[in-house]
Amino acid sequence: MYEGAVQDLIDELGRLPGVGPKSAQRIAFHILAADRDDVQRLVDALTEVKARVRFCTICGNVAEEELCRICQDPRRSAAVICVVEEAKDVVAIERTREFRGRYHVLGGAINPMDNIGPDDLSIKELLGRLADGQVQEIILAMDPNVEGEATAIYLARLLTPMGISVTRLASGLPVGGDLEYADEVTLGRAFEGRRQMA
């Protein structure tokens, strides 16, 4: 129904997560009416992210160099690794200021419905990080839902025989939700109360 370029933009915006057809239309008309400079800043930000941001070769977190800021930071303990599903979970945990170790980003959770098995996650890379014997504790910080629990149980069975202390974030996280939406206090308390697994 729209002129070509407007409809193209609505279509592209509609592909973004959480943006329905009506939101896409609303955003497109906002863009139409917006200052050219404002739109250019958005375009530049999109281009920059794709050009500059990659994933840390150690932990899989978002990085602008070969290693992410946390893996580069010598003050972060190499004895504890907190395993999360996604890079945005790292940010949520960093906000609590409870954790001073390193991270490992799995890239998802085991989910047979979506055909995601252990081989689709960066578990081999995690095991590689344990080879030098420095790591004493692994904190499993998967989302408190079915897939997250399944992934935690899988990893606990894999890691505990290796003599590493494996813990899981305490309840306190609302069950069925997304870790990234937890508020700092709840998430901080969950960190404090983490319990031994298996």
Contact positions vs a copy of itself (CB under 8 A): 1-6, 8-9, 11-13, 15-19, 22-23, 25-32, 36, 38-43, 45-50, 52-53, 62-64, 68-69, 86-88, 91, 94-95, 180-181
Q: How far is the CB of 179 from a copy of itself (least distance, A)?
A: 13
Nearer to a copy of itself, 3 or 119 (CB): 3
Alpha-carbon distances, residue 54 vs 103, 140, 151, 193 (angstroms): 16, 24, 25, 33
Own/partner contacts of 119-122, CB < 8 Å, gap of 24 or more, are 121/151, 122/60
Nearer to a copy of itself, 37 or 132 (CB): 37
Question: How many CB atoms sit inside 10 A of residue 178's CB?
Answer: 17
Bridging pattern class, strands 80-84 and 137-140: parallel
Say if CB 70 and CB 76 are below 8 A apart.
yes
Nearer to a copy of itself, 62 or 169 (CB): 62
Q: How far is the CB of 124 from a copy of itself (least distance, A)?
A: 20
In the block, which residue shows the tokens 């025989």? 161
The angle that helices 21-33 and 4-14 make with each other, rounded to 10 degrees, is 130
Nearer to a copy of itself, 89 or 147 (CB): 89
Nearer to a copy of itself, 26 or 189 (CB): 26
Q: How far is the CB of 112 from a copy of itself (least distance, A)?
A: 21
Rounded Cα distance, 191 and 30, in Å: 42
Q: How far is the CB of 31 from a copy of itself (least distance, A)?
A: 6
Q: How far is the CB of 101 from a copy of itself (least distance, A)?
A: 17
Nearer to a copy of itself, 73 or 94 (CB): 94
**Integer distance in angstroms from the first to the last C-alpha of the chain?**
59
Give the bridge partners for 140, in sequence order.
83, 168
Q: How far is the CB of 95 from a copy of itself (least distance, A)?
A: 6
